[in-house]
Structure 1
Amino acid sequence: MALSTNTSLLISAILAILLMASMQLGKASLASNELMTILGGFLGSILFVLSLTALGNFEKLFFGYGSQVKIPEVIICLVGSMFVSSLVHRVSATTCLIFSIIALYYINRVSQSVYTVQPVPVYKKKK
Structure 2
Amino acid sequence: MAGLNDTDILLNEDWQLAPAANGDALVVFGPDCFFQDIRLEAMTQEGELFYDETWGWSLLDFIQSTDDELTRLEIAQRVQLKLSRREEINSETIAANVQFADDKIGVQVSFKFQGDDLQYQLDIELDRVKVEVKIV
Query: Is TM more than 0.5 here?
Result: no
Please, what TM-score do these two structures have when normalized by structure 1? 0.32
Please, what TM-score do these two structures have when normalized by structure 2? 0.30
Structure with greater Cα Rg: 1
Structure having the higher strand fraction is 2
Indicate the structure whose relative CO is greater, using CA pairs within 8 Å and at least 6 residues apart: 1
